Amino acid sequence: MNIEDSLKKLFSLHTFGIKLGLDNIKKFLDTIGNPQLQLKTIHVAGSNGKGSTSAFLASMLKEFGYKVGLYTSPHFVRFNERVKINGLEIPDEYVADFISKHEKYIDDNKLTFFEVTTAIAFQYFYDKKVDHAIIEAGLGGRLDATNVLNPLACVITSISLEHTNILGETLEKIAFEKAGIIKKYVPVYTGILPPEAKSIIQDKCIELNSPLNCLQDYIIKRGSSIELYTEEIELDDFTMPLKGDYQKLNAALAGLVISRTFQSDDFAHIEKGIRNVFENTGIQGRYEFYNQRPDIIFDSAHNEDGIKNFISEFRKDSKHYSKKVLLFGAMRDKNISSMLKELNNYFDEIFVTEIDYERAAKIEEIKNIAAGINVNVLAAKNYIEFIDAFMNNSTGDCLVVLGSMYLIGSIKAQIQNKIA
């Protein structure tokens, strides 16, 4: 089976949707020899910041000289982006061989896209003998397909209202799902959590005798700077390649995890891991400048807290633009109403669009939601033509493309195809 047929097969598994539960993935992994149990892993969950924190963790470990696997989702352009070792994507041939070898089992047991992708990552990291693997949870934590590890550390970056139709409609219920990744005696590290969510995590750690390390106990904020102090390191002047104070928190959380987990006082390598995160991991879609003059910013903020984080940074830049335009698209299971309310105060015009994806909200759906909260929006059916037109006619203006990683990915893929 070639890579085109393999990916067609793999993406067809979206038909089975999201099936929360571990029975399927455990049986499949048992069939292929449980490679995940041979890996030294750090497991990362959270509502926001888990992708960035995972990238910082992988980058830091690479700077220490380790061979590091990084498993994240979703991808932006290429499926292979999800599975990397020291920044290099999994080869097409490996994916094709894995699908060919296990196609019958996948079909007979109706495995989902994410279950198969997770198994590919575990097997690849095992076969390539990585020293450590950073594993980002997909949805929630407790019943997520990645929750089959015996990790060195569990990380929960943030907790906010997201996927409420699946994870629950309160912060306590969502925190319960995220806390499901916590393992007995395994150290837990958290970002800044709401009190009601933090209480749930604390109770779970007490129940499982898992040491809890909360980021706020190790940092000092001085204006827009963040200083990290542990028994091992003092990190008070680090260069941030990713914009936003919230990214400083993600970097500090990663630094805390590495310093405590590996009992390392080598702050130089941790700082270098922060500085070189782009080169070491290929992270993208985080306040990313696609073009300048006019400025076009891609950001994968996709829920209320993500929007607030974006705005906290955009507010600093917005005064430089004569006109600020938003191109927005989102998944229908997000709180689109709250996101649009937040964004409406910072843009002169809001255009809404849609992508060809089963979970994506249609333009008319978003327009109806906007009308219900008195937010004026316009339709942009062809987002590539819209971006091209903006780029050619808006020198001093700014366009922000935001609302879904899938939207950013679709745009990037079509732009690359045009160039090719």
- Determine the pLDDT at residue 372: 96
Distance CA 164, CA 360 (A): 16
CB-CB neighbours of 165 under 10 Å: 8
Query: What burial class does residue 364 get, using C-beta atoms within 10 Å of its C-beta: 0-12 exposed, 13-18 middle, 19+ buried?
Result: exposed
Could you tell me if 292 and 271 lie in one domain?
no
306 and 197 in a common domain: no
Asked whether residue 392 falls in the same domain as residue 334, the answer is: yes
One domain, residues 214 and 351? no
pLDDT (0 to 100) of residue 91: 97
CATH code at position 54: 3.40.1190.10
Domain that holds residue 381: 288-419
In this structure, what CATH number is given to the domain that contains residue 373?
A: 3.90.190.20
Report residue 81 as tokens.
């982006």
Structural domain ending residue among the three candidates 234, 260, 281:
281
Could you tell me if 36 and 29 are in contact, meaning their C-beta atoms sit under 8 angstroms apart?
A: yes
59 and 115 belong to one structural domain = yes
Do residues 188 and 138 both lie within one domain? yes
As for how many domains the chain has, the answer is 2
Give the end of a domain, one of 239, 261, 281: 281
Same domain, 225 and 298: no
Do residues 216 and 88 share a domain?
Answer: yes
Report how far residue 243's alpha carbon sits from residue 282's, in angstroms, rounded to the nearest whole number.
15
pLDDT for the residue numbered 237? 59
Confidence (pLDDT) at 70:
98
Please report the pLDDT score of residue 150 as a whole number: 97
**Do 383 and 399 belong together in one domain?**
yes
Q: Which of 237, 253, 281 is the last residue of a domain?
A: 281
pLDDT of residue 238: 64
> Do residue 256 and residue 338 come from a single domain?
no
pLDDT tens digit sequence for 266-278: 888 999 999 999 9
User: What are the average pLDDT values for consecutive 10-residue runs of the chain, which has 420 residues?
Assistant: 84 70 94 98 95 97 98 93 97 96 95 96 98 93 94 95 63 92 98 94 98 94 79 66 86 95 88 94 90 91 88 90 95 90 95 89 96 96 93 86 90 75
Residues 365 and 310 in one domain: yes
Do 220 and 298 belong together in one domain?
A: no
